Amino acid sequence: MGKLKAHVRLTRPANIVTAIADILAGFSVSGAVWLLYPMEDTYWFFSLLWLMLSTIGLYGGGVAFNDVFDAELDAKERPERPIPSGQATVTSAGWMAFGLMLMGVLAAWMVNAFSGWIAISIALLAVLYDAWGKHQLIFGPINMGLCRAGNLLLGVSVIPEMIGKYWYLGLIPLFYVAAITMVSRGEVHGKNKSALQGGMFIYLLIVTAIFILSFIHYENWWESLPFLILLVYFIFPPLWRALKFQEPSLIGKAVKAAVLALIILNATLASAFSGWVVGLCILLLLPLSLKLAKVFAVT
């Protein structure tokens, strides 16, 4: 059981819940959410389930590969992690990561070929980041952001023609996750003031962009405001404290809050296109993610 839990830890379950929220947001933006009821045609329901399974595999495999490639570094900086602590091996973790990613690609292909190709792109981008991208000052955050952008668009791809209409929405998670990646570089040593300032600026841009999008795309644009306010409350206070003191522990808390707030970001985006009820349904994932975050590491 100890080894099984160690391998589950490698997938970061709390983060996987945020990836599921990406799919739900993309599904809502595509308009497919309104085709779920009445349940006379089960195609849309099963398509959603396949896409959720896909993101579980892609995200879980991607973060597990991250620990595989970081095994030597983690032995020095984070010896408590599953591989350096001996609870998992590089080989076992690698095979698990590969199996999860393969599952993610095959599950997406069950929806349509477009979804399948997006899943393949996400898998390749994730491995690129784990093996090389995260060591690049500029491309690293962009690489990680592209993975998350692809995940949102994977949800939209349930209706392929909607990708051409809403492709630009991928820029929101791209910049958001790029900002998180910038900030996270101070988790070990701290003193990354410029990265923290850059992250705060990007967060402000994202909040502004979502407000404008909701005003343009949804008649009852005000329905997204409570979600947007919650997003601001969730990410800015811990980031401000991290910026003030620049201590690794505070930076880690700011990163953790921002990662979990991806659920709120997705709920806000969904409410901006499909109303508060849909946004609230996605927001209900937050307590689950918070619960898992108490048991499994987020960063």
What the block records as the tokens of 81 is 């992690």
What residues have CB less than 8 Å from 291, skipping those under 6 apart? none
Residue 299 in any domain: the answer is: no
The model's pLDDT over 114-129, given as tens digits with 9 standing for 90+, comes to 999 999 999 999 999 9
Residue 205 in any domain: the answer is: yes
How far is 156 from 27, CA to CA, in rounded Å? 5
CB half-sphere exposure, 169, CA atoms < 13 A: 32
Query: In the structure, what pLDDT confidence band is assigned to residue 1 with cuts at 50, 70 and 90?
Result: confident
How far is 125 from 147, CA to CA, in rounded Å? 6
State the Cα torsion 118-123-126-131 to the nearest 10°.
Answer: -140
Residue 211 in any domain: the answer is: yes
Radius of gyration of the chain (CA): 18
What the block records as the tokens of 288 is 């689950």
Whether residue 195 has pLDDT greater than 90: no
Closest CA to 5 of 77, 88, 98, 69: 88
Collapsed DSSP state (helix, strand, coil) of residue 276: helix
- What confidence score (pLDDT) does residue 189 get? 66
- What confidence score (pLDDT) does residue 111 get? 98
Query: In the structure, what pLDDT confidence band is assigned to residue 216 with cuts at 50, 70 and 90?
Result: confident
Contact 217, 272 (CB under 8 A): yes
What the block records as the tokens of 73 is 């570094």
- Per the structure, the complete domain to which residue 284 belongs is given by 2-293
How far is 277 from 153, CA to CA, in rounded Å? 21
Residue 298 in any domain: the answer is: no
Number of domains in the chain: 1
Cis amide leading into 38 (omega within 30): yes
- What confidence score (pLDDT) does residue 137 get? 84
Distance of CA 78 to the CA centre of its chain: 22
- What confidence score (pLDDT) does residue 188 get? 65
Residue 158 in any domain: the answer is: yes
Whether residue 38 has pLDDT greater than 80: no
Residue 204 in any domain: the answer is: yes
How far is 259 from 282, CA to CA, in rounded Å? 15
Q: What is the DSSP string of 136-159?
A: -TTHHHHHHHHHHHHHHHHHHTTS
The residue behind tokens 């909701």 is 214
| Greater pLDDT, 264 or 36 | 264
Whether residue 82 has pLDDT greater than 70: yes
How far is 95 from 161, CA to CA, in rounded Å? 35
Residue 122 in any domain: the answer is: yes
How far is 59 from 147, CA to CA, in rounded Å? 9
Residue 146 in any domain: the answer is: yes
Closest CA to 20 of 48, 47, 62, 52: 52
